[in-house]
Amino acid sequence: MSDRDRMDNVEPVRLVPESQFKFKCHPGIECFTQCCRDINIILTPYDIIRLKKKLNLSSEEFLAIYTEPQLLEKTGLPVITLKFLEEEDKDPDSKLCPFIRESGCLVYDDRPTTCRYYPLGVASLSHKEDADGEEFYFFVHEPHCLGFKEDRLWTVKEWRKDQGVDIHDEINAEWTDLLVRKRSFPPNMQLTEQTKKMFFLVSYNLDKFREFVFESSFLDRYDVDKTALNKIKEDEIELLKFGLKWLKWLLFKEGDFKLKPEAGALEQKMKK
């Protein structure tokens, strides 16, 4: 199914946290795992942190085995999607998630954000500093999904809590904000290839980003306090937050990230 076909299944109803819907998904349902094929799942930074840990892989190994690159529409930013697999002797246009098994999802406890939201989708219209009420939800109502015929009543808020979406959204918030802000740039404002590479590194390859911080000239150029350094050495979530703060500075020259005086002077000189 193409992205366009899937968009045909998006109901034009704008849902808020209190909106109600009936839905239940369980292993006994006839359509079990039908939703785990022919979809485009864009992975978030926190998805990678959880999945690579679950599979005991480095971020580079995870990227090489399970993902493919994509440019995010209207932003030009590089993102990754889960690489779906063709089934033997089946329609080559139909592809399956690599984690699907007869018994269900192999990585269920650490499944990506998109899978947790399903059958809902989420959209952000503006970046968070002026985002009051600008995030909303919608149904992805695919014909094969029989969960809507079940009788369990939810609000959107309850569904998000039950599926563990809140923590994903919280950790990914700064990243989502970067995407939304970049999308609102005029199309002629392009990022350099180097900035795009750095966006990819922080977003998806945290093991390499850690090396970049501690083993390149990064710490000669940027003023980073010792407490922050100790935190990011050991803690991947802190490393991600630090990286996103740096990206915000790199992309929009905002935030409290600082070049050391000598590096700042050199940068000014090079601009002249």
Tell me: does residue 144 bind ligand SF4 (CB under 6 A).
yes
59-66 and 206-215 helices, crossing angle to 10°: 140
97: phi > 0 → left, psi -120 to 50 → alpha, else beta; which? beta
What distances in angstroms separate CA 245 from CA 137, 154, 185, one per listed residue?
Answer: 27, 36, 19
33 vs 124 by CB, closer to ligand SF4: 33
CA 87 to chain centre: 26
Verify binding: residue 165, ligand SF4, rule CB under 6 A: no
Distance between CA 210 and CA 219 in Å, rounded? 12
* Pair of tokens at residue 193: 């290839």
Q: What is the dihedral of CA 213, 214, 219, 222, to 10 degrees?
A: 20
Asked if 107 interacts with ligand SF4 (CB under 6 A), we say yes
Q: Which is nearer to ligand SF4, 29 or 263 (CB)?
A: 29
* 140 contributes a contact to ligand SF4 by CB under 6 A: no
Residues 247 and 149: their CA atoms lie apart, in Å, by 44
Closest CB to ligand SF4 among 35 and 250?
35
Q: CB-wise, 111 or 181, nearer to ligand SF4?
A: 111
Q: Is 111 in the site for ligand SF4 (CB under 6 A)?
A: yes
Q: Is 10 in the site for ligand SF4 (CB under 6 A)?
A: no
How far is CA 70 from each of CA 17, 97, 232, rounded to the nearest angstrom?
A: 30, 17, 28
Total residues in contact with ligand SF4, by rule CB under 6 A: 22
Least Å distance, CB 234 to ligand SF4, is 28
Site string for ligand SF4, 24-63 (x = CB under 6 A): -x---x-xxxxxx---------------------------
- Minimum distance of ligand SF4 from residue 119's CB (angstroms): 6
**Is the CB of residue 1 less than 8 Å from the CB of residue 36?**
no
Q: Which of 46, 66, 99, 175 binds ligand SF4 (CB under 6 A)?
A: 99
Binding-site member from 49, 79, 97, 240 for ligand SF4 (CB under 6 A):
97
* Binding stretches for ligand SF4 (CB under 6 A): 25, 29, 31-36, 97, 99-100, 105, 107, 111-112, 115, 118-119, 144-147
